[in-house]
Structure 1
Amino acid sequence: MRFTSTPRGARLARRLVSHRLNDWGHPYATTVNETLTLITAELTANAVRHGHVPGRDFHVQLTLAEGIFRIEVTDTRAEKQPPAANPSATDSLSESGRGLLLVAALADDWGVSPRKAAPGKTVWAELHTRTKGHPLTHRVAPEPTDVDLLLATASLLRDDLGSQPEDASHGGRRP
């Protein structure tokens, strides 16, 4: 799926991956769902922060093949590459720079590859797991229809509005 290169786009991507995993038999509170959701959050945040080109979106693809989940986040900025080897530790006082450390710690494998047929890069991570109750088959999230996207986005936006802090200046009511 394609998302706007904004914090909101990254949040929607993370939530849709979690929903897809739940649909595939890995409920929200399971280790697989929580781990892949966290990896997705880090990779999409990096795409927004470091891979953003004005007017260009980022793409997310989630696949399951033979017990291996693979999440791919593709952006359009080729000149800003993550470190090729394991990311180095950042200053303990720094407020950022730990995303790829988390990805490296949680994923069984991860890496970067050039974007096919266009400028940019794909940062990917894999998580090896046994699928419970499902045969080990190749699964790719189906291409969503416009109706699917509208329903999913509307649902997520309703969730977002419900999670915003109340404005104390209006007595807990929204203006």
Structure 2
Amino acid sequence: MRGWGLPLEAPAHIVAELAANAVTHGRVPGRDFRLALTVTPGTLRIEVTDTRGDRIPRIRDAGRGLVLVDALADRWGVREGPAPRKVVWAEVFLAAGSRGAAIRRA
């Protein structure tokens, strides 16, 4: 994100929370999760895909991960992927003058 000239603090926290949730709640032995960052004019989109499509995350009083994502992201949600996957995504709106479109996958 730094190489793209993007804000780092809020997106880094969102990535950390979504990745931690994927490891903690979306893990199936032998399967990993995928992180994708997409930058389009005005928006940074963070997507974490895991193989537990049967576990749809919701904000709960007991945890703080999605509460943080909800507070830091401008929008977020969940979409079902091809079975057995799901994608948890978050978007951060960028200031005018951010760089053009790019996709990175980790």
Given the two structures, how large is their TM-score scaled by the length of structure 2?
A: 0.91
* Larger strand share, 1 or 2: 2
Structure with more relative contact order (C-alpha pairs < 8 Å, separation 6 or more): 2
Match of 1:104 among 70, 79, 87: 70
Q: Percent identity?
A: 48
The aligned counterpart of 1:23 is 3
The alpha-carbon deviation at position 88 of structure 1 amounts to 3.6
Q: Please state how far the C-alpha of 1:139 moved relative to its aligned partner.
A: 1.5
Residue in structure 1 matching 2:103, options 135, 140, 146: 140
For the Cα contact (< 8 Å) 2:46–2:91, is it kept in 1? yes
Alpha-carbon deviations, 1:97-143, whole Å to 9, x = none? 1000000000000000011x3411000000001254x55x22112x6
Q: Is the 2:54–2:84 contact (alpha carbons within 8 Å) kept by the matching residues of 1?
A: no
Gaps of 5+ in 2: none
- C-alpha distance in 1 between matches for 2:85 and 2:12: 23
What pairs up with 1:35-74 in 2 under 5 angstroms?
35-74=10-49
Instruction: Give the 3-state SS of the residue equivalent to 1:126 in structure 2.
Output: strand
Task: String of CA shifts for 1:142-171, please: whole Å, max 9, x gaps.
Answer: x68xxxxxxxxxxxxxxxxxxxxxxxxxxx
* Aligned residue number for residue 89 of structure 1: 61
Output the CA distance in 2 between the equivalents of 1:69 and 1:131: 12
Q: Distance in 2 between matches of 1:58 and 1:69?
A: 19
Q: Give, as a single letter, the amino acid of the residue that structure 1 aligns with 2:73.
A: A
Mapped to 1, the partners of 2:8 and 2:69 lie a distance apart of: 14
Q: Which structure is higher in helix share?
A: 1
- Aligned-pair RMSD on alpha carbons? 1.7
Larger Rg: 1
Unaligned runs of 5+ in 1: 1-20, 27-31, 91-96, 145-175
Q: Secondary structure at the match of 2:48?
A: strand
Distance 2:60 2:86 in 1: 20
Paired residues of 2:53 and 2:83 also in contact (CA < 8 A): no
Per the alignment, residue 119 of structure 1 pairs with: 84
Number of equivalences? 106
Deviation at 1:25, TM superposition (A): 1.4
